[in-house]
């Protein structure tokens, strides 16, 4: 279902013309539902990968630039020049302050290969110790998915949700629309339909994930295999 089809469906279901339900009005409802879906669903379609480089003697990493719109980081992996990869462990900023209070320094007491990372603000991460070199870092992060409701695309614009869960988007938008039209009965009907379709979509997304220690970037400790020969 593309953007134009969603607009037509909303007006057909409500039997209200564009004189009342203009594109700009419906866009608000679509955006509201897209936001609800994003907060309710932890889907692979929201996940992205990016590579960056630390600045030597600077503990901060700017993450405002990744394509798709950065929401939050999931996991960071340090890559050294010889190809060695090390997962960084996420910590709270209070821990970071105590572990490495000097964030921009050449003091070797506070610099080295980063072991930990944390959220500093909406577009900045902090690591500790402060990097002593310009290490490469790979980041898995959650993006802000493409929106239909921003009205910036063409009439044929589609998104992952509109293609793979069109009923979730339609029912949610209808619930918002009937609320706007002060039609409580139909609003409740489509709110129930929306919640049911959303639950099914959430279960589908959960089914894509393996239930093991590799899920969601969980830090794993390497296990050494015991030599049966005692060597």
Interhelix angle 166-180/23-40, rounded to 10 degrees, is: 120
Question: Is 24 a residue whose pLDDT tops 90?
Answer: yes
Band (143; pLDDT cuts 50, 70, 90)? confident
- Token look-up 């029912």 returns 171
Q: What is the pLDDT of residue 195?
A: 96
Band (148; pLDDT cuts 50, 70, 90)? confident
Average pLDDT of the chain to the nearest whole number: 85
Comparing 57 with 68, which gets the higher pLDDT?
A: 57
**What string of H, E and C letters represents the secondary structure of the chain?**
CCHHHHHHHHHHHHCCCCCCCCHHHHHHHHHHHHHHHHHHCCCHHHEEEEEEECCCCCCEEECCCCCCCEEEEEEEEEECCCCCEEECEECCHHHHHHHCCCCCCCCCCCEECCCEEEEEECCEEEEECEECCCCEEEEEEEECCCCCCCCCCCCCCCCHHHHHCHHHHHHHHHHHHHHHCCCHHHHHHHHHHHHHHHHHHHHHHHHCCCCCCCHHHCCCCCCCCCCCCCC
Q: What is the pLDDT of residue 136?
A: 95
Record the pTM.
0.72
Question: Is 39 a residue whose pLDDT tops 80?
Answer: yes
Q: What is the pLDDT of residue 213?
A: 47
Give the rounded percent of residues in the chain with a pLDDT score beyond 90: 57
Question: Is 231 a residue whose pLDDT tops 90?
Answer: no
Tens digits of per-residue pLDDT, 170-224? 999 999 999 999 999 999 999 999 999 999 999 888 766 544 444 555 544 454 5
Q: What is the pLDDT of residue 86?
A: 94
Cβ 168 vs Cβ 198: under 8 Å: yes
């Amino acid at each position: 279902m593309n953007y134009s089809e969603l607009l037509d469906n909303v007006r057909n279901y409500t039997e209200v013309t564009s004189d009342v339900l203009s594109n700009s009005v419906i866009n608000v409802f679509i955006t509201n539902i897209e936001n609800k879906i994003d907060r309710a669903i932890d889907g692979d379609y929201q996940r992205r990968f990016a590579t960056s480089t630390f600045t030597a003697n600077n503990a901060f990493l700017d993450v405002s630039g990744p394509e798709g719109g950065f929401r939050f980081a999931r996991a960071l992996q340090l890559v050294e020049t010889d190809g060695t990869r090390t997962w960084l462990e996420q910590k709270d900023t209070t821990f970071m302050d105590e572990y490495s209070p000097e964030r921009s320094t050449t003091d070797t007491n506070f610099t080295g290969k980063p072991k930990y990372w944390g959220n500093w603000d909406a577009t900045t991460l902090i690591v500790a110790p402060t990097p002593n070199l310009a290490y490469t870092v790979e980041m898995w992060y959650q993006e802000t998915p493409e929106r239909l409701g921003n009205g910036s695309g063409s009439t044929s614009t589609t998104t992952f949700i509109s293609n793979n869960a069109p009923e979730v988007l339609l029912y949610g938008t209808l619930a918002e629309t009937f609320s706007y039209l002060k039609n409580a009965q139909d609003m409740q009907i489509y709110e129930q339909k929306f919640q049911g379709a959303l639950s099914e979509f959430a279960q589908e997304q959960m089914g894509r994930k393996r239930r093991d220690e590799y899920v969601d970037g969980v830090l794993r400790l390497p296990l050494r295999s015991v030599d049966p020969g005692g060597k």
